[in-house]
Amino acid sequence: MPATVLSPDHVNDYLDSHLTERQVNKIQHGFPSPRYWNELSVPLDEVGADRRHLRATGEQSHAFLYVGVPYCIQTDPGKCGYCLFPVEEFQGNAALEDYYGYVEREAEMYREQMAGSVLVGAYFGGGTSNLYRAPVYHRLMDMVRRLFPEIEDGADLTLEGIPQLFSREKMAAIRDSGMNRISMGVQQVNERLNSFSGRKQTTKHVIQSLEWARELGLAANVDIIFGWPQQTVDTMLEDLRTLVSWEVHDITHYELNVGGPTDFALNRFHELPSTLANLEMYRAGRDFLLDQGYEQLSTYNFRRPGDPAVKDFREGYTSRVEQVDSLGLGYAAITFFGNPTLPSGRSWSFINHRSLPQYKAAVDAGRFPVERGFRHAPDDLLLLALFRGLISTEIDRAQYRTGFGVDVYEKFATIWDALAERGYAAITAERIRLVGDGAFYVPMISTLIAEERYRELREEAARRKKESRRPAAVTPEAASDG
């Protein structure tokens, strides 16, 4: 695999021109961006055959599972003012349970592909997964166990929800089903700032949900956002102090993504802190949590030791390079199947239909409900692993040499060296670690590392577009008919 040589001048010019830009999270779906997922037919029979071949060679197969819900409660402004995920307005429990029946049927389609895989973690997200009534959590975990009879010891099995929709009955059912963590999207403890989202959440809702989780022995993660409209360093720190006082051991503190036709982008953009203010918030929040005894597990995840119910929660991201497939079930769910040992082009990322009627129609017809996908080349797999590694803030060079046959320092040396000179990275013979403000700039670093490959993908997309517009050739017979 040839080295990606960018001149030091180019790298430094890129960094200088992007340091003051908003750090939009470009890593959510790994590499590349879904805008380049242009294959309308994903050969899942071929994927299944490849997985059977890998099992036959004795390779241990691990998998992470995501199960999505399409529904959210109605808010004014819609989609909590900022959400960029595809969601549907909640139509009641009958519609939700009807949808879940489709998820169960989709899971059955994957039984053969996932046979022999060990489940290393699961995330029940959305949408809003604590919209389900209590009995459904048992059905969810029954479905998981049918699909993955072997679940790794200590696997993190997390259900995401919002505070006001939890009840003690639901929480007990979540625990009794075999799930072991809840992740609460609190976003703002400050009730005035939270009201901009249109959600009816109160401080009491958050405290009560945390108390139920503690009583029932469930680990509890709290998501909180910085860069919110009208937010200051002081209001952000007050929220963090409150979470620490409530003995929240796991805190995900991440920057607001702003874009699309959302209320925050259209009507509150002028109220958003600047990029430099967001950097100040990141520094202040990070330093405060570290001073309080928390460890920084990834760009956004902080943990304080001492929670007896804790699991190794990193939202599916890991610094490990060994193969972990990620299976997504449900509306708009994303799947990754791949392995560096497979022939080129035999690894895939794909997304399920983002239209609920189309998702259901595909399942009704006995088809995998895939909307479109991307066939990875070997360089794409390396970039996908690097994007995930950067989220964990640490790159183990030996693991990349073993997994990909490449020294990732040598391949991107001018980038790592420039980051080290600016105090964003520390480089040793064993690993590359993000330090200082490096974690804040992960979206920028990821895009720079992938710059050459993205240029190739843009050129390929332009070529496809041009070819699609080219008129069909006229045969002599057709010409004479005219």
pLDDT at 65 over 60: yes
> Is position 20 within any domain?
yes
% of residues, the chain, pLDDT over 90? 74
Nearest to 3 by CA among 441, 399, 452: 452
Q: State whether 118 and 186 are in the same domain.
A: yes
> Is position 423 within any domain?
yes
Q: What is the pLDDT of residue 314?
A: 47
In this prediction, residues 230-255 reach a mean pLDDT of 97
Q: State whether 289 and 258 are in the same domain.
A: yes
Q: What is the pLDDT of residue 28?
A: 55
Q: What is the pLDDT of residue 315?
A: 46
Q: State whether 25 and 116 are in the same domain.
A: no
In this prediction, residues 443-449 reach a mean pLDDT of 94
pLDDT at 482 over 60: no
CA dihedral (290, 293, 296, 302) in degrees, to 10, reads -110
> Is position 327 within any domain?
no
Give the domain-ending residue among 303, 329, 350: 303
Least-confidence region, from 118-127, 197-206, 246-255, 305-314: 305-314
pTM score? 0.92
> Is position 283 within any domain?
yes
> Is position 197 within any domain?
yes
More confident residue, 167 or 26: 167
In this prediction, residues 236-248 reach a mean pLDDT of 97
pLDDT at 47 over 90: no
CA angle, residues 121, 123, 126, in degrees to nearest 5:
165
* pLDDT single digits (tens) 177-213: 999 999 999 999 999 999 999 999 999 999 999 999 9
Q: State whether 382 and 447 are in the same domain.
A: yes
Q: What is the pLDDT of residue 112?
A: 87
Q: State whether 14 and 73 are in the same domain.
A: no
Least-confidence region, from 84-98, 350-364, 426-440, 467-481: 467-481
pLDDT at 451 over 90: yes
Number of domains in the chain: 2
**Residue 124 CB neighbour total at 10 angstroms:** 28
pLDDT at 149 over 80: yes
Q: State whether 171 and 265 are in the same domain.
A: yes
Question: Domain range holding 406?
Answer: 8-38+338-461
pLDDT at 327 over 50: yes
Structure tokens belonging to residue 52: 């059977």
Query: What Å distances lie between residue 229 and 77, 192, 225, 264, 267, CA to CA?
Result: 14, 11, 11, 8, 10
pLDDT at 425 over 70: yes
- Would you tell me the crossing angle of helices 413-421 and 442-449 to the nearest 10 degrees? 150
Dmax (CA) of the chain: 84
pLDDT at 254 over 90: yes
Q: State whether 205 and 74 are in the same domain.
A: yes
Q: State whether 355 and 414 are in the same domain.
A: yes
* 213 in Cβ contact with 205 (< 8 Å): no
> Is position 137 within any domain?
yes
Q: State whether 421 and 367 are in the same domain.
A: yes
In this prediction, residues 401-413 reach a mean pLDDT of 93
The CATH number assigned to the domain holding 417 equals 1.10.10.920
> Is position 126 within any domain?
yes
* 398 in Cβ contact with 430 (< 8 Å): yes
The CATH number assigned to the domain holding 136 equals 3.20.20.70
The mean pLDDT of the chain is 90
Q: What is the pLDDT of residue 371?
A: 97
Q: What is the pLDDT of residue 317?
A: 43
Q: State whether 183 and 67 are in the same domain.
A: yes
Q: State whether 85 and 231 are in the same domain.
A: yes
Q: How far apart are CA 281 and CA 296, in angstroms?
A: 16
* 221 in Cβ contact with 184 (< 8 Å): yes
pLDDT at 274 over 90: yes
* 257 in Cβ contact with 84 (< 8 Å): yes
Tokens 């409209």 label which residue? 229
* 425 in Cβ contact with 435 (< 8 Å): yes
CA angle, residues 116, 124, 374, in degrees to nearest 5:
65
Q: What is the pLDDT of residue 316?
A: 43
Q: What is the pLDDT of residue 465?
A: 83
> Is position 375 within any domain?
yes
Q: State whether 33 and 130 are in the same domain.
A: no
